[in-house]
C-alpha cells in the first residue's frame, strides 16, 4: 500500500526542492504544496479513520493537514526516506492521538452523566470498551505501517527484517555497543553520507572512531544499519523496543 503512495524519483527531487524552499520561510510555496497534496492527505486520514473523509467537515482532516505541515518543516532528505512516506507516518500518528483524546473526552462526559442517571452505567461501559477496541485496532495498523516502512528502508540496503533479527546480539552489553556505534554514524556527516549514498556500512572509516575489531563490525553490519534507520526515522513503536538503550 505504501509503495503506491510514494513519489517517483523525479517527483521526489521536485518535492525535496520545494520543501527546501519552504524551510527557508516561503509560506506561499508551503500553501501550494499542501493544496497539491490534499488528495494524499485525505487518503492517509481515511486509512486511519476507516471511513470516507470530507475535508470540509471532518476535524481529523484538519489535524492531518497540520501534521503534513509539521512533516514539511521536519523533513530531511539525507535521512533516506521519501517525504511522502515520512509525512504519512507523521499524519497517522497525529490523527491517532486526536482520536484518542476525543474518545477520552466522550467517555469522561458519559461518566459525568452517569452520576445523574445510573441507568447509563452499561452504556458507559460499552462506550469505553468500544473505544478501547477501536484504538487498539488503529494502533495495530499504525504499528504494521511502521514495520512496512522499515522493511522498505531496509530493502534499499538489500536487508530483510528476518536477517536483522537473526543478527541481533544476544548480550545486552553487545546490543548497547551497537547502539553507540549507530549514534556515532548518525552524528558524523561523513559516515552518514557514505551509508546513505553508497548503501554500505563505512567499516574502514568507523575504525577511526571505535575500538572494535573489523570482524565484529562486519558480523553486526545489518543490525547496525537497522539501528541507524530506526533512530533516524519517526518510528514510535519500533523506538519503544529500543528505549532502554537509546
Which of 137, 155, 173 terminates a domain? The answer is 155
Which of 155, 183, 218 terminates a domain? The answer is 155
Of the pLDDT bands very low, low, confident and very high (cuts 50, 70, 90), residue 228 is very high
Residues 46-61, mean pLDDT to the nearest whole number: 90
| Residue range(s) defining the domain that contains residue 214 | 161-242
Which of 120, 155, 190 terminates a domain? The answer is 155
- pLDDT score for 106: 62
Do 170 and 130 share a domain, yes or no? no
Do 105 and 176 share a domain, yes or no? no
Mean pLDDT of the chain: 82
Do 61 and 113 share a domain, yes or no? yes
Which residue would you say has higher pLDDT here, 6 or 237?
237
pLDDT tens digit sequence for 183-199: 999 999 999 999 998 99
Do 109 and 215 share a domain, yes or no? no
Which residue would you say has higher pLDDT here, 89 or 69?
69
Residues 227-240, mean pLDDT to the nearest whole number: 83
- pLDDT score for 245: 59
Query: Closest Cα to residue 7, out of 96, 77, 85?
Result: 85
Do 77 and 130 share a domain, yes or no? yes
- pLDDT score for 227: 93
Residues 152-156, mean pLDDT to the nearest whole number: 88
pLDDT tens digit sequence for 17-36: 999 999 999 999 999 999 99
Which residue would you say has higher pLDDT here, 159 or 93?
159
Residues 172-176, mean pLDDT to the nearest whole number: 89
Of the pLDDT bands very low, low, confident and very high (cuts 50, 70, 90), residue 4 is very low
Do 142 and 200 share a domain, yes or no? no
Do 101 and 73 share a domain, yes or no? yes
Do 202 and 224 share a domain, yes or no? yes
Do 150 and 184 share a domain, yes or no? no
Do 113 and 230 share a domain, yes or no? no
Whether the predicted pLDDT of 139 surpasses 90? no
Written as nine digits, the cell of 166 is 537473526
Structural domains in the chain (count): 2
Alpha carbon of residue 22 to chain centroid: 21
Of the pLDDT bands very low, low, confident and very high (cuts 50, 70, 90), residue 134 is low
Which residue would you say has higher pLDDT here, 66 or 100?
66
Whether the predicted pLDDT of 224 surpasses 90? yes
Do 100 and 201 share a domain, yes or no? no
| DSSP of the chain | -HHHHSPPHHHHHHHHHHHHHHTTT-HHHHHHHHHHTHHHHHHHHHHHHTS---TTT-HHHHHHHHHHHHHHHH--GGGS--HHHHHHHHHHHHHHHHHHHHHHHHHHHHHHHHTT-GGGHHHHHHHHHHHHHHHHHHHHHHHHHHHHHHHHHHHTTT--HHHHHHHS-SSHHHHHHHHHHHHHHHH-HHHHHHHHHH-S--HHHHTTT----HHHHHHTHHHHHHHHHHHHTT-SHHHHHHTTT-
Whether the predicted pLDDT of 118 surpasses 70? no
Written as nine digits, the cell of 126 is 460499552
Of the pLDDT bands very low, low, confident and very high (cuts 50, 70, 90), residue 149 is confident
- pLDDT score for 27: 92
- pLDDT score for 237: 77
Do 221 and 149 share a domain, yes or no? no
Amino acid at each position: 500500500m505504501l509503495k503506491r503512495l510514494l513519489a517517483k524519483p523525479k517527483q521526489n527531487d521536485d518535492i525535496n526542492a520545494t520543501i527546501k524552499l519552504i524551510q527557508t520561510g516561503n509560506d506561499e510555496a508551503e500553501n501550494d504544496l499542501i493544496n497539491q497534496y490534499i488528495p494524499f492527505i485525505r487518503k492517509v486520514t481515511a486509512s486511519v479513520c476507516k471511513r470516507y473523509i470530507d475535508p470540509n467537515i471532518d476535524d481529523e482532516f484538519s489535524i492531518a493537514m497540520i501534521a503534513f505541515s509539521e512533516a514539511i518543516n521536519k523533513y530531511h532528505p539525507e535521512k533516506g526516506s521519501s517525504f511522502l512516506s515520512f509525512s504519512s507516518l507523521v499524519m497517522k500518528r497525529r490523527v491517532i492521538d486526536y482520536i484518542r483524546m476525543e474518545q477520552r473526552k466522550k467517555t469522561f462526559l458519559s461518566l459525568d452523566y452517569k452520576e445523574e442517571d445510573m441507568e447509563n452505567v452499561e452504556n458507559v461501559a460499552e462506550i469505553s470498551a468500544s473505544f478501547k477496541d477501536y484504538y487498539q485496532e488503529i494502533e495495530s495498523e499504525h504499528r504494521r505501517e511502521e514495520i512496512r516502512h522499515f522493511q522498505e528502508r531496509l530493502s534499499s540496503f538489500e536487508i530483510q527484517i528476518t536477517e536483522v533479527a537473526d543478527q541481533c546480539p544476544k548480550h545486552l552489553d553487545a546490543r548497547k555497543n551497537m547502539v553507540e556505534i549507530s549514534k556515532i554514524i548518525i552524528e558524523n556527516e561523513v559516515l552518514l553520507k557514505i551509508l546513505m549514498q553508497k548503501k554500505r556500512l563505512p567499516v574502514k572509516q568507523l575504525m577511526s572512531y571505535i575500538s572494535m575489531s573489523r570482524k565484529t563490525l562486519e558480523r553486526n553490519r545489518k543490525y547496525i544499519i537497522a539501528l541507524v534507520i530506526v533512530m533516524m526515522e519517526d518510528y514510535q513503536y519500533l523506538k519503544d523496543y529500543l528505549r532502554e538503550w537509546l
